[in-house]
Structure 1
């Protein structure tokens, strides 16, 4: 159960003290943005997410802000279905964000926010924040504090750190989801906080009330119930497929996945595929049409159903996925996988010559080891993918290596020790909800001191 994030609010000598296990983050001085918000009777937050993963991060941040803010919060911005569940009325469908920059800037200015939060989608996000900062400076208005959630992958590219230095002109604070990003940002003049990886929130939500040790960052679904629900034969081989969340990547990857299954079906006569569909209407429509010509039996799992997703993972022998956050979800589920990716030829050329790391999947990057097999770019062909999947399915040693590596990866992604130490100093037993990534991010926003 979530710890009570706020027990009381004391107002004394123009200061606000929030009594919480995260007191280190929540002392708000008289020079904080909360003073300005308090004088207006509410905290206005303009929040923008442009992708499915960002929608998930943003909705949890909104929930955490609502839990611990001493003031009522009014949200405006752009998001998907999960942010809508937290009360956001999106300015327009999230899928249209790429062509709505001007409209978003004008809406933000009209809303007069105290805080602007952009989540991932760095191309759009940084253009938005840059234009907003310029407009506020031009009109000499009290400017809002700009937060960006999910640091750009500066560590992956040649010259990446140098590009961080310019961000401080229009980004006030970055929430980092990977270890060492906070240090890299600060060394380049950008304020930052490592909050932990958002995937850990799945553990906190789905394991709520279960006897799960703090170091056991994993989710074990009910594969038996899943097989029974979908009448899957006991001897069938189930492969989970995750083709991506954006229409562009799904249209590239799903045909490769289909042809791969076609190559496997003769050697696996009882093959069943479980296709996870992102909560994106365009993706949903595309996959619904594609499965009419699917070579083997297919079960579609709608996005936004986390328990069903992890039940499907538990029912599967292996997974085939497009590179992205899903690789981390598979690590949580301890499901061995193969990571794939294709892009436009120019993009592939750029990555090949500009990247300074040899891997694309986050577990491999964090461990600096090819624990998870990858089939990338021109090597991502149905024949190659089928070969690697067969090898993984038939080799228990490879499977166990991935499972063992997952524990190391999850330890690296946990929130910083300073948060755990703080809860212990309060005389409280550390409990995951008290230091979830979204809660740490929310408390950082509420305690922010404007310069």
Structure 2
């Protein structure tokens, strides 16, 4: 079978690569053409566009790059038509992917949506687009199946693919990790500032502002694969270190973490690291989002899945040095055991392993029908 896959962000690249691996195991003739990143490229096939040229954060940035986005949509439609895939697989990235879903459906191509857009948070009306143009909806969060059922969409809950990615990690030698990355014996506070340049600049400045108050710890930045090492030089010195493409290893050696809201908050929790979730967007983007997102209490996946505050979220004006110092100290001491206990319950809620395998099975079965 011929598969055309679109992932517009780093997390989509991870989930897309695992799905491609599972599809290859079940379909010896699998042929891939995709928008994604380095992890998907490792699985073979043709990388059309890298996600680092696609990810625009916030309402203002989207408007500023509207011509680029529209040209990408036009090009993608032409590329799909030329490739003529058996199935189109869309991974999150709804502003782009829902337009492509409509186009693919008009060509008679079967459409699968893997990793649902967060329609339960905002733009719920997009469910109608999914009902019209998506043949199979595969969701990875337990409450999403119920959400779609409410809209008469029969979604499949396949479990969360991060459970597989993290469970399959080989054991880590913490001492070797420290030596290879020139780290000393102090305990580590990991900094995960995001994957987009503008986001990382904004988040690292505030994250690093707590350093003078935690001199007994060393701070280590998890570099995003989409950004060059040279980008991080402005933020590092003898007391602030940087690792590239080793985020999971860094977290497994860390005592605590400061994490920009996104998939990384869930990855950090599944690796059993107490964290403080951070978010700060442009003032205009935040005000627009606040008006649109009216009925959810949390922004981090950890708290959303558990439906309670497991980890502290410092958002916009609450993201200050003073608040970060207070909350980071709590993760290191007073609140630590409670957070770790809730993480155990979180893993149970996410279901068993094998999300990518279950998704691949549904996709291949759909094409046989």
TM (norm. structure 2) is 0.88
CA separation in 2, counterparts of 1:223 and 1:52? 26
Instruction: Please report how far the alpha carbon of residue 343 of structure 1 lies from its aligned counterpart in structure 2 after TM superposition.
Output: 0.9
Q: Does 1:277 align with 2:223?
A: yes
Instruction: Please report how far the alpha carbon of residue 155 of structure 1 lies from its aligned counterpart in structure 2 after TM superposition.
Output: 2.2
CA distances 1:296-320 after superposition (whole Å, capped 9, x unpaired): 62222212x4xxx344223322100
CA separation in 1, counterparts of 2:150 and 2:331? 41
Larger Rg: 1
Q: Who is 2:342 aligned against?
A: 405
Instruction: Please report how far the alpha carbon of residue 231 of structure 1 lies from its aligned counterpart in structure 2 after TM superposition.
Output: 4.7
Alpha-carbon contact 2:21-2:43 (below 8 Å) kept: yes
User: Aligned residue pairs: how many?
Assistant: 353
Instruction: Please report how far the alpha carbon of residue 133 of structure 1 lies from its aligned counterpart in structure 2 after TM superposition.
Output: 2.8
Q: RMSD value over aligned CA atoms?
A: 2.2
DSSP-derived class of the 1:447 partner: helix
DSSP-derived class of the 1:317 partner: strand
Q: Who is 2:92 aligned against?
A: 120
Instruction: Please report how far the alpha carbon of residue 154 of structure 1 lies from its aligned counterpart in structure 2 after TM superposition.
Output: 2.3
CA separation in 2, counterparts of 1:89 and 1:251? 32
Alpha-carbon contact 1:223-1:313 (below 8 Å) kept: no
Q: Does 1:297 align with 2:239?
A: yes
CA separation in 2, counterparts of 1:86 and 1:225? 28
CA distances 1:340-376 after superposition (whole Å, capped 9, x unpaired): 0011222212333332122111111222221211110
Q: Who is 1:68 aligned against?
A: 26
Q: Who is 2:263 aligned against?
A: 325
Alpha-carbon contact 1:221-1:333 (below 8 Å) kept: no
CA separation in 1, counterparts of 2:265 and 2:145? 23
Is the alpha carbon distance of 1:222 and 1:333 closer, same or farther for their aligned partners in structure 2, counting shifts above 3 Å?
farther
CA separation in 2, counterparts of 1:238 and 1:322? 17
Q: Does 1:102 align with 2:60?
A: no
Instruction: Please report how far the alpha carbon of residue 61 of structure 1 lies from its aligned counterpart in structure 2 after TM superposition.
Output: 0.7
Moved more, 311-320 or 53-62: 311-320
Gaps of 5+ in 1: 1-42, 137-142, 208-219, 416-431
CA distances 1:276-325 after superposition (whole Å, capped 9, x unpaired): 1121036x4432x3225x5x62222212x4xxx34422332210010111
TM (norm. structure 1) is 0.73
Instruction: Please report how far the alpha carbon of residue 167 of structure 1 lies from its aligned counterpart in structure 2 after TM superposition.
Output: 1.8
Q: Does 1:354 align with 2:279?
A: no
DSSP-derived class of the 2:120 partner: helix
CA distances 1:320-345 after superposition (whole Å, capped 9, x unpaired): 01011111121122111100001122
Instruction: Please report how far the alpha carbon of residue 132 of structure 1 lies from its aligned counterpart in structure 2 after TM superposition.
Output: 2.9
Q: Who is 2:57 aligned against?
A: none
2:231 to 268, 277, 286: 286
CA distances 1:171-207 after superposition (whole Å, capped 9, x unpaired): 1111101003123223323342111112112234215
Q: Who is 1:443 aligned against?
A: 361
Is the alpha carbon distance of 1:226 and 1:195 closer, same or farther for their aligned partners in structure 2, counting shifts above 3 Å?
same
Q: Who is 2:316 aligned against?
A: 377
CA separation in 1, counterparts of 2:52 and 2:2? 24
Gaps of 5+ in 2: 55-68
